[in-house]
Homo-oligomer: A and B are copies of this chain.
Amino acid sequence: MSFSTKGEYGVRLMVQLGRHYGAGPASLADVAAEEELPRPYLEQLVMSLRDAGLVVSTRGAHGGYELTRAPQDIRMADILRALEGPIAPMICATEETDAAHEPACDRTARCSVNLLWVRIRDAITGTLEGMTLADLVPLRTPLADPQPAVQPRPTGAPLGV
């Protein structure tokens, strides 16, 4: 059970753009160097993010990418959906498969297992909707900065450890 590294890299890319937010476009070369990731691969990923409207590009010299919104306005769910498609732990439980019309699994009537995947999906999306890019942007500041109220968005975030 796992996300792909596509998701991992894409999120790290977004974090870098978040740190750069407000300072003009950041080039992929810089991001790749900072995160030690293969730049050609990041090119692929950033396409998805652009198509999803999360970043805009500036072409030409001194161009690059920048966020279209402030980090605290970008939910992690949006990022991961852009990178990996709908959040579904199993085809039986794609998003929008809430109540009726699930054509993917004709066994649904007998298939009580569906309940499991739906619950997991909701747990994941709940977590993801409750976090924004701003939650990940700050480098850990081991200074006198004992985790202040980072984000003004206490959207639940059950932290149910």
List the interface of chain A (C-beta within 8 A of B): 1-5, 7-8, 11-12, 15, 36, 76, 80, 84-85, 87-92, 95, 98, 107, 109-113, 115-117, 119-120, 122-131, 135-140, 155-161
Contacts and interface: CB of A to CB of B under 8 A. Distances in A.
A107 B96 CA distance: 37
B1 A125 contact: no
Dominant secondary structure at the A interface: loop
Contacts of A155: 158, 160
A-B complex: 4 closest residue pairs judged by Cβ atoms: A156-B158, A126-B158, A123-B123, A126-B160
A88 B2 contact: yes
A134 B80 CA distance: 32
A8 B80 CA distance: 23
28 contacts: A1-B4, A1-B80, A1-B89, A2-B89, A2-B91, A3-B89, A3-B117, A5-B90, A7-B90, A8-B113, A11-B113, A15-B113, A98-B161, A112-B137, A112-B138, A113-B136, A119-B159, A120-B127, A123-B156, A123-B157, A123-B158, A124-B124, A125-B160, A126-B159, A126-B161, A129-B158, A130-B158, A157-B158
Given A2-B91, A3-B89, A122-B157, 18 more contacts: A1-B3, A1-B80, A1-B84, A1-B124, A2-B88, A8-B113, A76-B116, A95-B161, A110-B140, A120-B128, A122-B158, A122-B160, A122-B161, A123-B158, A124-B124, A126-B159, A157-B158, A158-B158
